[in-house]
Amino acid sequence: MNNTGHSLTPDAAKTLLSFLYATEARRSVLLLGPPGIGKSVLVREVAEETASAAGKKFFAYEQPDDENLAEIYARPDRHFVFVDIRLTETEPVDLLGRPVTVGVAGRKQVVYQPPQWAALLAVAPGILFLDELTNVHRPDVLAAAYKLIQDRAAGFTGFSPGVQVVAAANRPEDSTLANPLPAPLVNRVYCVEVEPPSLAEWAAWMAAHHPGYDPRVLAYLYRFPDDFCRVPAEGETLEGYPTPRSFTSLARDLPAAVDAGLDRGALRMLCLAALGGEVGEKFFAFWEHPVPSYEELLAEPALFGRLGVDEQYMATVIVGQGLAARVEKAARQMPGEPEALSPRVVLQDIIAPCVPLLDVMGDTSREYLTLLWYIIAHRLHVPWREAVYLAMCEHSEIVRKAYTSVGSLLRWPA
């Protein structure tokens, strides 16, 4: 999951894509990488953030109605259109438009009537996203897709200057279904290789988009990072497999499944359905271990040392969540804007009782304190995140030495 120098994490790819949209040429971009790592999500987020930064109304072309379309046609400069097309599910007519017969000066002629989405992009700025480019095996669909990428036009309907075309694809080494692309096409686009997100990036994204996700999923991934993305080599399968996408779905759905009262067999099957047999069984065994509550660990820190390794990872997440929740509550109760040092004063009564537990965790393994900061840093904001960091280091010599040894955690999240 580390950057190899030849690929970018989704966060870094987002930054580059945002820059390329802002250039005058808006050259087409091809994102290459394994399935399930967030390529589609990052493109949509770039579109949403670009629209917001420009003060335009974001419009995703999904289930358009006449009222929305009329509004865009009336004031296209106020809108930013995002069109997401999965090429493996399209026909050439979906990309080029339909031939219709018209009369001009008494002569019948055939012209292309553009698809509705293309008519929108002809007048409004936006991003056209073409997914699964290398998985298309129909030459007629590929030819139509190539025209969109190279000419920024659907048939004879050209897009507005504010439109950029972004495609995403798997590499042949990622999937046996993926095919190489013609060299002339590749030469006309920016090819950007995307790798799976780091655990820090994934945790930050989950905290922002799914704050109620099951934290034990993060504990598992921190314990077994090699399971984060394991795409089957065969390319075709009838079994789920672990990717950032499948872990995201599972982390989001597990709390709801528990709240709905699903029995143990159904919960186990949910894990297997998302991650496949091998990793699913392994995750469920990890997830099922009983772990003391935050209050129980505070009351008896020695409990942490008596837990097994898997339980200690989960307990670390529970401690981070519990500590962050208490800090958030204190922050909400503070009247007005806090003074620069006020958070540190407020934190005295929160951090001091945690010190014996933090020391036990650090004595067991400094890795637990690093994971603890993952959890806290992605829950809290300035100035509270910095205040917690300083208070923990001030109250515990073990914490201070552990965090010094792994660099400045105060910069997290980057």
State the pLDDT at residue 340.
46
Whole-number Å distance between alpha carbons of 38 and 10: 7
Whole-number Å distance between alpha carbons of 385 and 377: 6
State the pLDDT at residue 345.
76
Express each pLDDT in 291-345 by its tens digit.
Answer: 899 999 999 999 999 999 999 999 998 999 899 999 998 888 776 554 544 677 7
pLDDT at 155 > cutoff 90: no
Residues 99-113 have a mean pLDDT of: 87
State the pLDDT at residue 338.
47
For the entire predicted model, the pTM comes to 0.81
Residues 158-182 have a mean pLDDT of: 93
State the pLDDT at residue 341.
47
State the pLDDT at residue 59.
97
Whole-number Å distance between alpha carbons of 358 and 102: 77
Residues 143-166 have a mean pLDDT of: 95
- Average per-residue pLDDT in the chain? 91
Residues 35-59 have a mean pLDDT of: 97
State the pLDDT at residue 175.
83
CATH class of the structural domain 10-193: alpha beta
Express each pLDDT in 200-232 by its tens digit.
Answer: 889 889 988 998 899 899 999 999 999 999 988
CA distances from 109 to 45, 102, 195 (A): 42, 5, 49
State the pLDDT at residue 406.
65
pLDDT at 3 > cutoff 50: no
Residues 258-262 have a mean pLDDT of: 98
